[in-house]
Amino acid sequence: MGTGGESFHPTPKAMIATYATAADFTTWGERAKSMTVAELLYTVNDCCQAAESMTGWNPIKENFYMDQACTYGMELSRR
């Protein structure tokens, strides 16, 4: 608490970096092979929405979700 003129601004915590790894891409690709078209469409849409919610806030997570969307989307393209 201060004398009244200042405002409280918490120090932002460091962003936790969760980059997609080669193992993630392998896991997603294998999982996608066993999914139905409806499941793939739902997953791609969900990943895109998650990425959009990270836009301007956490670019690392935004790109993580876009990597997922692209990986599942590639399986849709193969079919």
Tokens coding 28: 């997603």
Asked, for residue 2, whether it belongs to a domain, the answer is no
Residue 10 has pLDDT above 60, yes or no: no
Domain that holds residue 40: 22-78
Asked, for residue 6, whether it belongs to a domain, the answer is no
Asked, for residue 49, whether it belongs to a domain, the answer is yes
SS (H, E, C) the chain: CCCCCCCCCCCCCCCCCCCCCHHHHHHHHHHHHCCCHHHHHHHHHHHHHHHHHHCCCCHHHHHHHHHHHHHHHHHHHHC
Asked, for residue 40, whether it belongs to a domain, the answer is yes
Residue 11 has pLDDT above 60, yes or no: no
Asked, for residue 26, whether it belongs to a domain, the answer is yes
- pTM value? 0.76
How many domains does the structure of the chain reveal? 1
